[in-house]
Amino acid sequence: MPNDYDADVIIIGGGLAGLRAAEILHEGGIRVLVVEAQDRVGGRVFTHPEISCDLGASWFHGTIGNAAYDLSTLAESSKSVLKEEIDDDSDEAADGWKTNMHAQVLGGLPPIRVHADGTRSEIDKQDFYEQLRILVKASNAPIPINEENDVSLYTQIERNLPHERTPLLNEALQLWNGFTEAVTGGDVRDHSTVRNEDYVDLPGGHVAPPGGMTNALVMPLVERLFPCRVRLNSPVKCVQWSADSTMLTLEDETRLVASVVICTVSVSVLKGLRFEPGLPEEKVSALKETGIDAVAKVYFVLGSPLQNAVTGCTQCVVWDDGALDDMPSWARGVRMVYYEMVPVPRVSVWLVSVPATEFELSKEHVAESQLVLTRIFGDVEVTNVYHGGWGKNNRFGGAYSYPRVGAGRERTQRIAAPLCVGEKLKVAFAGEATHPTFYSTMHGALESGEREAKRCIQYLRGESRKEWEVTHPEVEQNSAVS
């Protein structure tokens, strides 16, 4: 490669995909430079140092065949596994996230109903669980066979529920939709039912590393990268690609040149990034078929422990008509709360889509949070609030990707397809949104970074385009398994 290039390969983005790609390239003897828009690496993985909580990705979803888990520092003695409490032959056990929800309902405190007059009452846990079983059967009904007949996850379950519903079933449906949105990353009215089936659950349970994901996964990657070059606070505004070279122009007008660029930014950022020449129409349409939304994992730090609360337990919340009239608008997104005592007394919730955006834009987090939690628990003192702000941060524009209604089967392949000039590889694409079966996950991001790094190595070593142009060998592999 020419000596006046800044690197053989420049990687846009220092998240998991970018860090893993850099590691593979470095091991392969390739000169690599990572440019990262933020003042830190890790992307959408971030453990807040003050209270040791993950504001981004926090779970290894499956431990068997999980690239993220395999690269982490977890030892057998330090695993924290969410036990699944559904029999293996039940409808629920067929879907990992549904099992997760049922386990939290069964293992948590009785659901609480908040009334319009400010009072609260408990809902029988077993009765509530039976309503969730009805929802599972509705969600497992036959799905449309192709994107032409595709419907949203919301429509799919609505049309398979009984016409006459009990109030408790409607309340359980509120929780179901909220939990579904937290898992899938977007509004259930926008998420594809057909393409949702492309996602593959890994076996082995859900594992949260003690001490947070930054320490367990990001820092080991960074340590293995030393002495690779990582340039922080360097957002890219334009990618120019030609037969001669690929050049990046940063927002501060700095120009960097390489033989190949690997772009690992989020779907939202990729949609707004300027390419010269522009992206092919096939890639543009695939990006339109891919959604990304605000997901806010919010931690409310309390001045003192809640009375009668059980640490490590979840509690479902149902709002009666009128109970939200004097609440901040984002409160309607609070469907399940989680209480912990360590390292400080705190309550956490997930907000998705519009409620998450409303929360992120609020300037009165502590005051509003105290109002909401007092309505749920009684008298409480909220001393601080922590959240990731992924939606309003224009370096991310959302938390993780999902397939929109009508998305084609080759959507992820079209996003991942590299830009080439003849036999020359110019721009490769990685990131969770480019993985066909593990989109939205850390292991999907890591696998995509490894995939594109190996492609670049093959190209730079002089292998033919026929040998390095296959974008998704794992598609055939997973298809063969299924």
The whole-angstrom separation of Cα 292 and Cα 187 is: 9
Tens of pLDDT, residue by residue, the chain (482 residues): 566 789 999 999 999 999 999 999 999 999 999 999 999 999 999 999 988 899 999 999 998 999 999 999 873 434 444 433 333 344 444 455 555 565 666 667 889 999 999 899 999 988 998 998 899 888 888 888 788 899 999 999 999 998 889 999 999 998 899 989 988 999 999 999 999 999 999 998 888 898 899 999 999 999 988 778 999 999 999 999 999 999 999 999 999 999 999 999 999 999 999 999 999 999 999 999 999 999 999 999 999 988 777 788 889 999 999 999 999 999 999 999 999 887 789 999 999 999 999 999 999 999 999 999 999 998 899 999 999 999 999 999 999 999 999 999 899 999 999 999 999 999 999 999 999 999 999 999 999 999 999 999 999 999 999 899 875 455 333 332 22
The whole-angstrom separation of Cα 110 and Cα 118 is: 18
Q: How far is CA 205 from CA 103, 181, 448, in A?
A: 12, 20, 22
pTM over cut 0.85: yes
Q: Which CATH fold topology does 85-204+295-386 show?
A: Polyamine Oxidase; Chain A, domain 2 (3.90.660)
Q: What single letter denotes the amino acid at residue 151?
A: V
pLDDT at residue 101 in the model: 60
- Tell which residue, 122, 126, 186, 119, has the closest CA to residue 153: 186
pLDDT at residue 476 in the model: 37
Domain spans in the chain, listed from the N-terminal domain onward: 7-46+211-291+398-481, 85-204+295-386
The matching CATH number, chosen from 3.40.50.10800, 3.40.50.2000, 3.50.50.60, 3.90.1720.10, for 7-46+211-291+398-481 is 3.50.50.60
pLDDT at residue 280 in the model: 97
Contacts of residue 28, Cβ cutoff 8 Å, sequence gap at least 6? 453, 457
